[in-house]
């Protein structure tokens, strides 16, 4: 039996376990049915270390090594829902691939995801998971998230999976007119989840709540 087969068969993927998580998100006012379906269907246990697999469907962040975490399912759902509200973006830039869980939730809901990760070992792991799950509309790059990925811009949306103290201007420059940027912003312990929409020369800012993310770091890991 393959490693995937072993991990898929040890009980933590039961429909009841996943449904309990989805109900918890509903209780926290996640209402978009396609987002809830993705949380239900994406095998989160494949994105965490095997030792933590039994905790994969808890609504909590978990360590994935290299000082990084897999985001709490509620936060993944909230960010995805905020991204999809109104016009569904065709092309999305993701800053911080990490283990690839947020990417896997988002990818079937948009046309293309361009995802940057500064830690090469995490990028390789995510690439293997996407291949295993048949996700083919994600383009990956080992790079510095502070610089974005200008070659494929402008983007209909940008999603940041790590928190800068302030959002780099270069990312707004890569955002298409009418585009949305979803990001945690601020120092540790005081981060706000922001949705910023580009309206001509103006940036319309909305605060979506308090969150806790690892900081966005410059350079390559």
- What is the pTM (predicted TM-score) of this model? 0.92
pLDDT average, residue stretch 195-204: 94
The Cα 166–Cα 70 span in angstroms is 22
| pLDDT value for 7 | 44
Per-residue CA distances from 117 to 133, 141, 178, 183, 213 (Å): 19, 6, 26, 16, 15
| pLDDT value for 170 | 97
**Chain segment 41-88, per-residue pLDDT in tens:** 999 999 999 899 999 999 999 999 998 999 999 999 999 999 999 989
Q: Which residue numbers are catalytic?
A: 71
The Cα 78–Cα 101 span in angstroms is 14
- Count of other CB atoms within 10 angstroms of residue 175: 22
Q: What is the CATH number of domain 3-211?
A: 3.40.50.150
| pLDDT value for 13 | 65
**Chain segment 170-188, per-residue pLDDT in tens:** 999 999 999 999 999 999 9
């Amino acid at each position: 039996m393959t490693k995937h087969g072993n991990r898929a068969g040890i009980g933590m993927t039961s429909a009841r376990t996943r449904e309990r998580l989805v109900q918890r998100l509903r209780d926290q006012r996640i209402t978009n049915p396609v987002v809830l379906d993705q949380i239900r269907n994406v095998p989160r246990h494949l994105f965490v270390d095997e030792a933590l697999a039994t905790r994969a469907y808890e609504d909590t962040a978990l360590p994935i090594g290299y000082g990084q975490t897999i985001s709490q399912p509620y936060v993944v759902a909230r960010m995805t829902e905020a991204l999809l509200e109104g016009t569904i973006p065709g092309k999305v830039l993701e800053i911080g691939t990490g283990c690839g869980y947020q990417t896997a939730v988002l990818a079937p809901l948009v046309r293309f995801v361009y995802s940057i990760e500064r830690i090469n070992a995490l990028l390789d792991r995510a690439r293997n998971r996407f291949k295993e799950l048949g996700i083919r509309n994600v383009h990956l790059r080992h790079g510095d998230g502070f610089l974005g990925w200008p070659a494929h811009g402008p983007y209909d949306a940008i999603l940041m999976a790590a928190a800068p103290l302030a959002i780099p201007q270069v990312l707004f420059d890569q955002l298409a007119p009418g585009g949305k940027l979803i990001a945690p912003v601020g120092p540790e312990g005081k981060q706000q989840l922001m949705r910023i929409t580009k309206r001509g020369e103006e940036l319309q800012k909305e605060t979506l709540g308090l969150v806790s993310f690892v900081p966005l770091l410059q350079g390559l890991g």
